[in-house]
Amino acid sequence: MASASAHGPNALLVSVVLLATLCVCTATSPYAAGLSEDFYHKSCPQAASIVDAYVTKFLKKDRNFAGAFNRLQFHDCWVGGCDGSVLLNSTETNQAEREAHVNFGLRGVAEIDEIKADLEHLCPGVVSCADILILAARDATAKVGGPTWSVALGRRDGVNSTALTADTNLPFPVLNFSGLVANFAAKGFGAREMITLSGAHTIGRSHCNGILPHLYNFTGRDDANDTDPAMNKNFAVFLKKLCPEGNRTNTIFIDSTANTFDRAYYKNVLQGKGIFITDSTLITNPVGKKVVTTFSKPRSSFFTEFAAGMVKMGNLGVLTGTEGEIRKTCQFVN
């Protein structure tokens, strides 16, 4: 029998098969190098379930911890990468990230440490604080009605944490649209992703500290009645009762359904009821307003895109292999 020709249709078929094989082999992973979903499968198989159980416990006590854990992931990953540095305490010679102006009122640190203590008892020196934080943010989001997503693990903990670095990298709540776009672009995120991740404000609460610039002296006239004109007037009156001028410590919910992850945030923004300047500014740009309007509607892709954004954020500046360390307690380096 004659051998098959290496030319014509057969050659084309071989080329297609080889190309398909190559595409499979070189498919890019959504995770940073060194991370995997089964990282603790042998070394601490119960790690994810323990984090999940603790998150359930914390949310039963205070459902608003969902917002706190989301904020922790963002405020950790945005500053030097997802290395748990936001959890570190200050020392006599160093002000840690948690002392930064932009981290005012940060919650959830003690709760992450409580989870760590249990895991350290069961699997000493294995599970990083950075990974616990990432898992807690995912679990908490899903438990209050939001999306879930696969979490790759294997991050190690950083040993450096400074307030100045946090204030330099994190977006302050007074940024306008172009300022937010620039801040997110510096981390590799587009404008749409910025608007998507802003949707985390659908859960959580805030001290008045970040809200006052929206209510008083908005344009710098040193006038208590100088409120953002884009804000709903009745809503502004409501906020001023909760946040009197000069009061930085009162707390308020940052969404009308603050204990449920939903699309209400975007509806509120469209109605002039954004809590922060960074919320209301999303609709000052035509592209931004279009995305906000889309996400405010049922069956939009908000949940799917938010999950993808959190996965992408979780890849920022990770330490793996022999980099960093596995802290014994999350608030102190070893």
In 3D space, the residue among 162, 165, 146 whose CA is nearest the CA of residue 265 turns out to be 146
> What does the pLDDT read at residue 27?
52
- The reported pTM is 0.89
Does 201 show up as a binding residue in the annotation? yes
pLDDT at 11 over 60: no
pLDDT at 10 over 50: no
Tell me how far apart the alpha carbons of residues 83 and 320 are, in angstroms, rounded to a whole number: 10
Which residue is associated with the tokens 């290496």? 6
> What does the pLDDT read at residue 205?
87
Of the candidate ranges 30-34, 182-186, 319-323, the one whose mean pLDDT is the lowest: 30-34
Tell me how far apart the alpha carbons of residues 284 and 187 are, in angstroms, rounded to a whole number: 23
Residues marked as catalytic: 75
Does 202 show up as a binding residue in the annotation? yes
Tell me how far apart the alpha carbons of residues 105 and 185 are, in angstroms, rounded to a whole number: 26
For the chain, the residue count is: 334
Mean pLDDT, rounded, of the chain: 90
Does 126 show up as a binding residue in the annotation? no
Q: How far is C-alpha 275 from the chain's CA centre?
A: 18
Does 41 show up as a binding residue in the annotation? no
Of the candidate ranges 12-21, 66-75, 202-211, the one whose mean pLDDT is the lowest: 12-21
pLDDT digits (tens, 9 = 90+) for 96-147: 999 999 999 899 999 999 999 999 999 999 999 999 999 999 999 999 999 9
pLDDT digits (tens, 9 = 90+) for 300-319: 999 999 999 999 999 999 99
- Residue 22: exposed, middle, or buried by beta-carbon count in 10 A (0-12, 13-18, 19+)? exposed
> What does the pLDDT read at residue 7?
44
In 3D space, the residue among 62, 68, 117 whose CA is nearest the CA of residue 331 turns out to be 117
Does 304 show up as a binding residue in the annotation? no
In 3D space, the residue among 133, 58, 127 whose CA is nearest the CA of residue 88 turns out to be 133
> What does the pLDDT read at residue 254?
85
| Annotated domain spans of the chain | 46-204+254-314
* Domain boundaries 46-204+254-314, corresponding CATH code: 1.10.520.10
Does 262 show up as a binding residue in the annotation? yes
Q: How far is CA 111 from CA 61, 115, 259, in A?
A: 12, 6, 18
